Each structure stands twice: as C-alpha cells, then as structure tokens.
Amino acid sequence: MLKIIRRVLRLSGNLSKRIWGSFFCGFLESMFGLLPIVAVFFVLNQLQSGLEITGQTWGIVLTLIIGGLVLRSIFKYLVYRLQSTAGFEFVARERISLGDRLRNVPMGFFHDHSMGELTATMTSDLNYLENYSMHILDKVTSGVLTMIVMAICVLTFDWRIGIVFLLGIFLSFPVYNHMQKKGKDLSEKRQTIQADAIAATLEYVQGISVVKSFNMCEKNVSEIENAYEKNADSAYEVESVFTPLNMSYSLVFRICACIMMFCAGLLAIGGELTFARLSVILLASFTIFNPLEVMGQMTTLIRMLDSTLDRVERIKQAKRIDENGKDISLDSFDIAFDHVSFAYENGNPILNDVSFSIPQGSMTAIVGPSGSGKTTITRLIARFWDIQDGSITVGGHDVKEFTCDSLLKNMSMVFQNVYLFRDTIENNIKFGFPEATHEQVVEAAKKACCHDFITALPDGYNTVIGEGGSTLSGGEKQRISIARAMLKDAPIILLDEATASVDPENEVHLQQAISALVKNKTLIVIAHRLSTIRDADQILVVDNGKIAQKGVHADLIQQKGIYQNFWNIRQKARNWKLAQ
C-alpha cells in the first residue's frame, strides 16, 4: 500500500509537494470532524461536575461545533483543490510523456505489445489515474494517519479501551492482507481481459469493410461478444470475491466496536469510568473505525491503481531507440550500407550482408520480388529499427549517433500504406512543416496534382477527412502524402511506390512533380514500374535479402538476371489485349 503511494509520488515529480499538502489537509479535515464529539464531552463533563451551564458554556460548544464544520469545509475544499489540480496536471504530463516515449521506441515494440494493451494504457488507464488516483491516496493516507492519531487519543483517554481499539486493528490485518493478495491477482486478470476487449473492438471497427465483403458479420460479432462477455464476467468475479471479504473486514471492526461499548459499560458500572467519558466512548465507537473500513472497501481500487501504474511504467521504461543519440546537423547527405544484416524480432533474416552507397544528390532505385527486403531498406535508413550487424551512415555519421528528430528532419517519406490524420486537408499537408502558409500548401498541392480534387470538396482545404483518410480514395491519399513530402522539402527523399495508386493521366504530372521535388536531393525510390526509374543514377536489385544486381537501366537490361526478366515481362504485358 505504502509502495503504491511512493510510486505515485515518484511519477508526480514536482507536483508531489501539492499531493503531500492534500494529504495533510485531508488529515486535518478528519481531525476537525471530531470537534462535535469534543463539544459533547465538554457539556457532559460540565454537568457531571455540577457546574452551571452558562451562556459562555454554550458559546464554547457552538464555537466547537460551528468551528469544526467551517474548518472541515475549508480543508475539504483545499483537499479537492490540491488533489484535482495535481491529478489533472500529473496525468496530462504522463500522456505527453508516454506519447513522446512511443514516438522514439523501436518499431519492434509495437509487435511485442498488442494495440489493445497500448490503447487501454493510453486511454482507460490514464483516465483511471486522472479520476481516482488522488482520491484513493487521500483515503489511504488519511486512514493510516487517523488510525495512528486515534490510537494515541484513545489510549490517552482510557488505556483499557485503547487496548481493545488496537486489538481490533491488529485482528483486521490478516483479512486486509488477504484482500490485497486477491485484489492483485484479480486486477491484473481484469486489466488483461479489458485490453483484449479493446483490441477486439479496434479490430472489428478497422476490419468492418472486410467483414461485410465476406458476409461474416454474424461470426465476427460473436467473437467481439465473447470478448465483452469475458470482460463482464471478470468484473462480476471481482465483486463476487470481494463482497464477502469486505463484509468480513467490516465485521471485525463492528465486533470490536461492540466490545468497546461493552467494556466501557462495565467500567462505568464499576465506577471506573465517568458518565461523560462513557458517552464519548459510546459515540466514538460508531465512527472510530470508519477510516479503516474505507481503506478496506477501496482494496479493489488500490490494486487496480497498482496494475495501472505497472502498465504505464512498462511503456515509460521502454528503451528509446535514440537513448544515446545527439542532435547532429549534416553538411552532406550521402547514404551508405556497410555489410548490413537485419532480422525482425524472432524472425527470419531479411537482409544479409548488404553493402551499397548512395551519393548525395543522386537517384537510387530499388527493385526486386515481393518480400525481398526493399521496403525494409528504406525503413532502416530512417532508423525505424536497429540492425544486428554492420552499419548505416547518413552524411558520414552512423544513424545510431543521431536523435530521432535530428535524423528524420532530413527526410521526407511517401510509403505504400499512406496514413492521414482526422484533420483538415491543409493540416495533413503541412504536417511535416507546421509553419507553412496557405499559399505554400496550395503550391505543394498543385505540384502533387491534388489541388483540383481538393477545391472540388465542400470546404476545400478546410475539409476534415476521416481517420486514416478513410473518406478519400487510395490515389487521393497518396497524392496528399506526396504534397506533404514536397512541402517538408527535406534533402533526402524516400519513395515507396509513390505512384502506385495514381491513374495513368496523373502519373505523368506526378513524375514531373517528383522530378522537381528531388532536384539536387538524395532520392531512394522503390518501384515496380521499371519505366519510372529508367533515368536513375543507380538501380539496386534485391533478392532474398541480398544485392543481386547493381547498375543503371541500360546495362541491367543487357545482363541476364532478375532485372532483365522484370523488364521483359513488363514489355510483354504492354502488348496484352482483351480477348474478343
């Protein structure tokens, strides 16, 4: 329990002082709640002593009661003020921190962690921290502090009743420890099932077009229903386990309260306890264990908080791919692979002892069969993954020497799978250059042959497109992606089938635009249409993770090999005609 408090305080950083302040105010708020009992004891003590109840006496009583209420309200307000601001700021900072961490982890991290788990951490878990963490910690710390202070007060008031009070606390410990162990197991299981339910939801929504096209709605719905039913069953299991445990925990305190009242009665009958003290003990017996009972009732929430912190810290502790990187400014933009070997996590080798160089300002085309490692080469240049052997240099510096930002600021990329954000078309185009003016955006769009279809939309450049660009065609998305790369105007351009989804009419214009884009820049292009790379300064033919051929178009079509075969197949395909 105290470990959880330390974890939250450690994560909160400079906000921990505010949190400690809320704990202190919460403790004072609990203490001032005892002033009405003090007022009752004062009156009864006056009566038992035979003293006259004067206006001054009632003034003291009213001061204690009203003062207790006012002070309790003030400190309650301070608790909420300090907790809510600290909680919201703390979680807002954690969201930014996690987003920054995910931006700089190796891409393999996303293979090792399901989308459901990551989504649950970034949404449900952080919402839980935001809404409940401060409240839970307040109740726990207030309960512990109140227990200590009350024990001292009761022992001072009457040591015999104090012993009964301490006995109740010690008897509750085994039950509380058992609840903590059960809570840990169930909360971890519950969060795993919750992540699976979120993953099933994401998969269903993202794959709905495939589900409909194969008429598999009923089967697919049954799978997501199973995930939801497991989630409901896990919630029911938590309640069914903790209901009897909470009752047992509360029963310990109820029995101890009854014993306290019984012992106080015996002591009063024996003349060892005054009526005033008896009355105070009887009144206190109904509320003295309340903070401890609340702690027990919050066991599930405490353990859920513990599991939530585990998942958040797993992401925060993920190794940054540029952990030892430096902010390097480049004077040249040549690229070199030196005996590079690479395999994805727990997979077969993709590249094996690959070496080549790309001079600054040149165009290098990469061709080869599907799965040969073409796209992997471009992603390794951008350091989406780290290689196992060899080295990759950009501008004479190993890519491992850079921070991600200082490396990627030199690159513009257009890949086959274009992703656009749910935002305006203008903001999507200037994603890599947020400071761009509207005129610069329009100019880039015209060069990428997407200005006409953008202006035809109801809101033009202010049209909000669907998530992932779902409201646009494949060709439209790719042209916007090319416009985005053009606007960034980086010295290194990586194109992966940039014209694959473009109709023949616009392909000519796009090739002209790309020629303008890559002028005096280092260009790496992956292409299946060999006609688009005839003017490349260098063509690399990749096969089974190795460089099978290297040269220019005129030489490669004369050599027996993969490139010549590709070229002959393309030439034959151009003569195909539909059968009459």
- Total number of domains constituting the chain: 2
CB 543 within 8 A of CB 372: yes
Whole-angstrom Cα distance, residue 465 to residue 436? Answer: 20
126 shares its domain with 266: yes
Instruction: Please count the other Cβ atoms lying within 10 Å of the Cβ belonging to residue 414.
Output: 24
Q: Which helix (H) or strand (E) element contains residue 214? A: none
What one-character DSSP code corresponds to residue 411? Answer: E
Q: Which helix (H) or strand (E) element contains residue 350? A: strand 349-358
Q: Of 282, 316, 350, which one is at a domain's C-terminal end?
A: 316
Give 4's Cβ-side CA count (13 Å radius).
23
364 shares its domain with 499: yes
414 shares its domain with 304: no
Whole-angstrom Cα distance, residue 94 to residue 129? Answer: 10
What one-character DSSP code corresponds to residue 174? Answer: H
CB 260 within 8 A of CB 164: yes
110 shares its domain with 254: yes
**CA-based nearest residue to 277, from 298, 294, 260:** 260
310 shares its domain with 202: yes
Any domain includes 14: yes
Instruction: Please count the other Cβ atoms lying within 10 Å of the Cβ belonging to residue 550.
Output: 16
495 shares its domain with 545: yes
347 shares its domain with 258: no
Q: pLDDT tens per residue, the chain (580 residues)?
A: 667 778 887 877 788 888 888 888 888 887 887 788 788 878 877 777 777 777 888 888 888 889 888 998 898 888 888 887 888 888 888 888 888 888 888 877 887 777 788 888 888 888 888 888 887 877 777 777 777 777 887 888 888 888 888 888 888 888 888 888 888 888 888 888 888 888 888 777 777 777 777 666 665 567 778 888 888 888 888 888 888 888 888 899 889 889 988 888 888 888 888 887 888 788 778 778 888 888 887 888 888 888 888 888 888 888 888 888 888 888 889 999 999 999 887 677 889 999 999 999 888 999 988 888 888 899 899 888 888 899 999 998 999 999 888 998 899 888 777 788 888 999 999 988 888 999 999 988 888 888 888 998 888 999 988 776 677 877 788 888 888 888 888 899 898 876 665 666 666 666 666 666 677 789 898 887 777 788 888 999 999 889 999 998 888 888 888 888 888 887 776 666 655 5
Q: Of 260, 289, 316, which one is at a domain's C-terminal end?
A: 316
Any domain includes 395: yes
Any domain includes 323: no
Tokens 């260009």 sit on residue? 523
**CA-based nearest residue to 156, from 31, 29, 281, 24:** 281
pTM: 0.70
Any domain includes 305: yes
342 shares its domain with 312: no
* Domain interval for residue 503: 335-574
Tokens 């960034």 sit on residue? 488
Q: Of 316, 347, 368, which one is at a domain's C-terminal end?
A: 316
Q: Helix, strand or coil for residue 494? A: strand
- CATH assignment of the domain containing 511: 3.40.50.300
Any domain includes 150: yes
Tokens of 342: 């690479």
Please count the helices (runs of H) and the strands (runs of E) in the chain: 23, 10
The per-residue pLDDT for 36 is 82
Give 512's Cβ-side CA count (13 Å radius).
8
Any domain includes 330: no
Whole-angstrom Cα distance, residue 319 to residue 105? Answer: 6
- CATH assignment of the domain containing 160: 1.20.1560.10
Q: Helix, strand or coil for residue 19? A: helix
529 shares its domain with 420: yes
501 shares its domain with 466: yes
